């Protein structure tokens, strides 16, 4: 069995002291590849160093909506240069809209649109962060698809309703579930996870955040993507091996990964 954790932040300080142990545990959990997300371009060097060190790690470069105020007139060039200079850059992001924690809606939208243009230009998939903003995001993406063209991507750490899930499936997106789907009160998210077609489903930890049951409340780490996979397999009534194969194939397809096994 092979699993891919499609969204990690192991460059954060909380992992500094025991990364080798964390690697041992993800290997034991049969996690064969990580896709590292990026909150802001200043992280690029540290993420690149992790990819040098660990090998089976691809990554994104982009600016998170909650850091939208950090966009400057050099950010676009920075993202473009990083993405072009390192073949391990497999996506642009994370980008998106977060109306739950911030009210700079206009600024977030501008920064999102700028990154959509970069991804379209480079023909790279996007990693979308969306919280309490599904309707606005749908409108922005639909307009972009019409005016500029389609971009492939993933709705990461997805927590939307089945209706919202269908919107983004219709736009061509993959839908990625994190540990949140395992929580007891996550009925709506579980309903969404049931309607995602086999060829659009992805799994992630979003570590260090949001550890799945039975690790809830602890620091999260890539090995725990196994718990997300097991939960989704049960929920969708398929063997864990089948779910692992499907989600790994999907990750390879979206991010153009080739696993060196
Ligand atoms: Zn993230």
Question: DSSP letters along 160-173, please?
Answer: --HHHHHHHHHTT-
Determine contact, residues 112/140, Cβ cutoff 8 Å: yes
Ligand 1 geometric centre to CA of 210 (Å): 11
Q: Is the distance from CB of 212 to CB of 182 less than 8 angstroms?
A: yes
Ligand 1: centre distance to CA 95 (Å): 9
C-alpha 208 to ligand 1 mean position (Å): 9
Tokens of 75: 């950010």
Determine the distance separating the centroid of ligand 1 and the alpha carbon of 232, expressed in angstroms. Answer: 20
Strand partners, 95: 128
Nearest-angstrom CA–CA distance, 171 and 116:
14
Q: What's residue 217's pLDDT? A: 87
39 CA → ligand 1 middle, Å: 7
pLDDT tens for the chain, 261 residues long, are: 999 999 999 999 999 999 999 999 999 999 999 999 999 999 999 999 999 999 999 999 999 999 999 999 999 999 999 999 999 999 999 999 999 989 999 999 999 999 999 999 999 999 999 999 999 999 999 999 999 999 999 999 999 999 999 999 999 999 999 999 999 999 999 999 999 999 999 999 999 998 899 989 899 999 999 999 999 999 999 999 999 999 999 999 999 998 875
**C-alpha 8 to ligand 1 mean position (Å):** 7
- The CB-based long-range contact list for 42-45 (8 Å cut-off, 24+ gap) reads 43/11, 44/78, 44/82
Query: What is the 230 CA–ligand 1 centroid distance (Å)?
Result: 21
- When the pLDDT of each residue in the chain is averaged and rounded to a whole number, the result is 96
CA dist 54 to 85, 86, 129, Å?
Answer: 19, 15, 25
Distance, CA 37 to ligand 1 centroid (Å)? 6
**How far does the centroid of ligand 1 lie from the alpha carbon of residue 143, in Å?**
25
Q: List CB-based neighbours of ion ligand 1 within 5 Å.
A: 37
Q: Which residue, among 194, 144, 147, has the nearest Cα to 172 in the 3D structure?
A: 144
Q: What is the pLDDT of residue 259?
A: 87
> For residue 205, how far is its CA from the centre of ligand 1 (angstroms)?
9
Task: Provide the CA 117 distance to its chain's centre, in angstroms.
Answer: 19
Q: What is the pLDDT of residue 15?
A: 94
Joined together, the tokens standing for residue 232 give 């989704």
According to the model, what pLDDT value does residue 261 have? 52
Distance (angstroms) between ligand 1 centre and the Cα of 150 equals 23
Q: Which residues contact 252 (CB under 8 A, 6 or more apart)?
A: 4, 258, 259
């Amino acid at each position: 069995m092979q699993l891919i954790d499609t969204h990690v932040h192991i460059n954060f300080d909380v992992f500094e002291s025991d990364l080798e142990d964390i690697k041992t545990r993800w290997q034991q959990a049969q996690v064969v590849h990580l896709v590292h997300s990026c909150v802001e371009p200043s992280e690029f060097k540290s993420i690149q160093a992790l990819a040098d060190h660990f090998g089976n790690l691809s990554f994104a470069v982009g600016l998170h909506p909650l850091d939208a105020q950090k966009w400057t007139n050099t950010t676009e060039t920075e993202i473009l240069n990083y993405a072009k200079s390192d073949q391990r850059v497999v996506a642009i992001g994370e980008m998106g809209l977060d109306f739950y924690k911030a009210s700079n809606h206009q600024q977030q939208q501008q920064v999102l649109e700028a990154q959509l243009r970069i991804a379209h230009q480079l023909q790279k998939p996007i990693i979308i962060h969306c919280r309490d903003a599904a309707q606005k995001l749908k409108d922005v993406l639909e307009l972009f698809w019409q005016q500029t063209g389609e971009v492939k991507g993933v709705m990461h750490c997805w927590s939307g309703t089945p209706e919202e899930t269908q919107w983004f499936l219709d736009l061509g997106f993959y839908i990625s579930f994190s540990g949140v789907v395992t929580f007891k009160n996550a009925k709506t998210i579980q309903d969404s996870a049931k309607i995602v077609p086999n060829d659009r489903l992805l799994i992630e930890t979003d570590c260090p955040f949001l550890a799945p049951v039975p690790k809830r409340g602890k620091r999260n780490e890539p090995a725990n993507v196994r718990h997300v996979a097991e939960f989704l397999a049960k929920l969708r009534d398929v063997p864990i091996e089948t779910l692992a194969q499907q989600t790994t194939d999907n990750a390879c397809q979206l991010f153009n990964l080739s696993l060196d096994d």
